Amino acid sequence: MSAGVVSIGIGARESGGGSDGDGGLGPVGDWVVGLMETFGAAGAGLAVFAENLFPPIPSEVILPLAGFTASQGDLDLVAAIAFTTLGSLLGAFTLYGLGAWLGRDRMRRLARHIPLVDVDDVDRTEAWFNRHGGKAIFFGRLVPIFRSFISIPAGIERMPLLTFGLLTTAGSLIWNTTLILAGYLLGEQWHVVEEYAGILQWVVIATVVGAVAWFVVSRIRKHRAGVR
């Protein structure tokens, strides 16, 4: 075990944080540390892949913890972002494939037998996808629970794979980068990200919407100036 990885647990305990709220990393944090000890940045990617398939596993713990590990020099920051985004994409394609293979009714029956999964969440995600299509895929990657389930209706409706993959990658890259950088910058206070994840989620969404609006407005102004 490397000294940097050991310092994850020590830092979390000294700061009074951790995913179990009593000064320890908690089972999820310990599991993620074990994966990163064994596989490095790819271990963080494996954890995110599992989080996509089992939404109760919180990315709000996995990603900041990976960022903190990178800040200690035990992971490459860019590799952590790349592998976690790859894990998000592979997990999304897995659920897409299940949706396409099983269809709506069988998928709902299967969801009833998965621990900690609420079928109502699956239904709400499907309704959101039906209303917003591609936008739901992109922004869904920034919203807990929806992050995983949004891939299911995309598969059921056989959304073009290239479009699905690009939107999923873009949304996942933004979310993963934000939380990993937060953990990297916060250092031993990385666990604070979990506490404020809801606020951070809306900050990220507002920033993305603002950036898109700015791009559209600037393009319109440029076009009008060219016409004149």
Higher pLDDT, 126 or 204: 126
CA distance 27 to 213: 41
pLDDT at site 42: 94
CA distance 64 to 81: 11
CA distance 177 to 85: 9
Q: What is the pLDDT of residues 111-144, one digit of tens each?
A: 676 665 667 777 777 787 888 788 888 888 887 7
Segment among 32-46, 81-95, 187-201 with least mean pLDDT: 187-201
**Number of neighbouring beta carbons within 10 Å of residue 153:** 26
Tell me the H-state helices in 74-196.
77-112, 119-132, 134-140, 146-149, 151-156, 161-186, 192-195
List the structure tokens of 18. Answer: 């951790």
Q: What is the pLDDT of residues 21-37, one digit of tens each?
A: 444 567 777 888 888 88
List CB contacts of 106: < 8 A, sequence separation 6 or more.
none
CA distance 212 to 34: 39
pLDDT mean across residues, the chain: 77
From 98, 69, 45, 67, select the one nearest 181 (Cα to Cα). Answer: 67
pLDDT at site 224: 63
Higher pLDDT, 85 or 205: 85
Report residue 10's pLDDT band, with 50, 70 and 90 as the boundaries: very low
From 180, 191, 192, select the one nearest 75 (Cα to Cα). Answer: 180
Higher pLDDT, 87 or 112: 87
Domain ranges (residues) in the chain: 3-195
